[in-house]
Amino acid sequence: MRHVDSFEIQPPTPPSHNGVPRSAWARARRRVSRWHRPYIAILLLLDFAAAAFASFTAIHTFDQARSGFYNAQENPTWFFTVAFVLLPLGWVLILWGNRAYDRRYLGLGPDEFKRVIRAGVAVAATVSFLAFATVTQLSRWTVGTALLGALLLILLGRSLARFVLHVIRRNIGQGGHRMILVGTLPECLEVHRAVTRNPAAGLVPVAIHLTDGYTAARGIETPVPVYTGRDVLALVREVGGDTIAVCGSASAEPGELRRLAWQLEGSGVDLVVAPQLTDIAGPRVHIRPIEGLPLLHVEEPTLSGPALLAKNLLDRLAAGLGLLLLIPVFVAIAVAIKISDSGPVFFRQPRVGHEGRTFRVWKFRTMYVDAEERLASLVDQNETDGMLFKMKEDPRVFPVGRFLRASSLDELPQLINVLWGEMSLVGPRPLPADDGDFLGDVRRRLLVRPGMTGLWQVSGRSDLSWDEAVRLDLYYVDNWSLAYDLSILWRTVGVVLARKGAY
């Protein structure tokens, strides 16, 4: 952090042009962020290899594969050329046409995978059309296996490539975009906090350019250098940036944003706009252009309807099946608890659920039977700033209970609450009923059923501050979907195995 005490104030330099300064076919070389070039090259090789391997697997899976093609026995060279060269090449070309190699969609978010799936549908349609147009006899099972296998392998390869990219971004700090934030200081600092919460996103702010002058920021601590009165494009070159992020009200001045976009044409610098819409997911935001004015329409959260019904059915089915399959695990844990400390196997505590209704949550007991009496002497050792009491080395937890907490096995009996409809598999964690009246923003958590796991569990669990945990829970409430639930369940597996933030 640094204090904003000095600036290099220069009169603004007028833009050198108000349009494309060269042929529209020319592309400027990006000065800093070139991580996408080797990354895209690796994706091209992975996608081609995945499609070729899928063809190889399909051909050797079905004995009659070659005979399913017209004249395949008479011309095996053409058969293998189609299977191992032309079809994989077609995959790559259609993926390219669907912008599945566009650096804007690589590394974060679901858009990359959506475009891969869309390309898979296009490949299947293309193969079907060519077979019909040329009256070619195809083995439907072989072709279907090759296409579906290629799609799954491409998705898997891209997931692994993204994982490696995220590791590089977190641990090495490479493979990202260097951003210049433009706007007022509060707006820029808010965007800085948002983009730096997730290093895997690869957005690295390197400077702030103020639009409201020097006096608005004097003496305030900032995480990156602050400038004012500079030509933005010259500043980008000076600090080695490749992206300009226009924050909040800085984009509200008529014509300014358009002129900045003109100035950046042909420079190889990206321009992004960060509107004052925080913690709202992309599917809820739609652009409605009216007479050249792009209006952002924000839809209401989906808190009812078919999607919610499907979520409830999935919860009940998964909880019932899980309870049946986990009976041996429950018995083993019960025996271990009884051996460690005499007393009840289960711990039931009142919690606040959907729309403020109170229920009793099921958990395996992990503390000694006199834990509640000993709490008063430990209150001043609380290691969290929220409504829950947490200690990394809580003396009230017996050894087996410590293992159960670290592995999250103590939460498994909450499948009973899910089966009864009191909880969900995914949602905000239920809070104790006697720890507050849930006023203000916190009360919004009660609009959905509490969950066995949630967004804050896969984002740090007990290591997060109370404010950050509430922010994540509210984000989930406002933006939940079935796909989002499945992604959180998948991420939960990795978090549980790593035992992050569990104590």
**What is residue 14's predicted lDDT score, i.e. its pLDDT?**
47
Judge whether residue 5 has pLDDT over 60.
Answer: no
Question: What average pLDDT does range 450-472 have in this prediction?
Answer: 80
Instruction: Dihedral sign for Cα 28, 34, 40, 41, please.
Output: positive
For residue 215, give every residue at least 6 positions away whose Cβ sits within 8 Å of its Cβ, in sequence order, or none.
none
**What is residue 334's predicted lDDT score, i.e. its pLDDT?**
92
**What is residue 416's predicted lDDT score, i.e. its pLDDT?**
94
C-alpha span between 282 and 109 (Å, rounded): 10
Judge whether residue 66 has pLDDT over 60.
Answer: no
Q: What is the CATH number of domain 2-19+176-276?
A: 3.40.50.720
Judge whether residue 252 has pLDDT over 70.
Answer: no
**Higher confidence at residue 104 or residue 63?**
104
**pLDDT, tens only, 406-427:** 888 889 999 999 999 999 999 9
Judge whether residue 6 has pLDDT over 50.
Answer: no
**What is residue 177's predicted lDDT score, i.e. its pLDDT?**
85
**What is residue 33's predicted lDDT score, i.e. its pLDDT?**
59
Percentage of the chain lying above the pLDDT 70 cut: 76
- The percent of the chain in helix, strand and coil, each rounded to the nearest 5, is 50, 15, 35
Judge whether residue 381 has pLDDT over 70.
Answer: no
Question: What average pLDDT does range 433-462 have in this prediction?
Answer: 76
Question: What average pLDDT does range 18-46 have in this prediction?
Answer: 67
Mean pLDDT for the chain? 79
Judge whether residue 134 has pLDDT over 50.
Answer: yes
**What is residue 25's predicted lDDT score, i.e. its pLDDT?**
40
The number of angstroms, rounded, from the C-alpha of 348 to the middle of its chain's C-alpha atoms is 34
Contact 73/67 with Cβ under 8 angstroms?
yes
Instruction: Dihedral sign for Cα 51, 56, 62, 67, please.
Output: positive
**pLDDT, tens only, 42-55:** 999 999 999 999 98
**What is residue 47's predicted lDDT score, i.e. its pLDDT?**
96
Segments making up each domain of the chain, as ranges: 2-19+176-276, 36-171, 306-498
**What is residue 79's predicted lDDT score, i.e. its pLDDT?**
74
**Higher confidence at residue 27 or residue 203?**
203
What confidence category does residue 197 fall into, taking pLDDT thresholds of 50, 70 and 90?
Answer: confident
- Both tokens of residue 412? 């498994």
Judge whether residue 10 has pLDDT over 60.
Answer: no
**What is residue 75's predicted lDDT score, i.e. its pLDDT?**
64
C-alpha span between 400 and 327 (Å, rounded): 19
- β-strand 424-426 against 358-364: which pairing, if any? unpaired
Judge whether residue 8 has pLDDT over 60.
Answer: no
Closest to 148 (Cα-Cα) out of 57, 229, 68: 57
What confidence category does residue 13 fall into, taking pLDDT thresholds of 50, 70 and 90?
Answer: very low
Q: What is the CA radius of gyration of the chain?
A: 28
Judge whether residue 258 has pLDDT over 90.
Answer: no
**pLDDT, tens only, 282-308:** 566 766 666 566 676 777 777 777 888
Judge whether residue 130 has pLDDT over 70.
Answer: yes
**Higher confidence at residue 165 or residue 392?**
165
Cα 284-290-296 angle, rounded to 5 deg: 20
**Higher confidence at residue 480 or residue 284?**
480
**What is residue 42's predicted lDDT score, i.e. its pLDDT?**
94
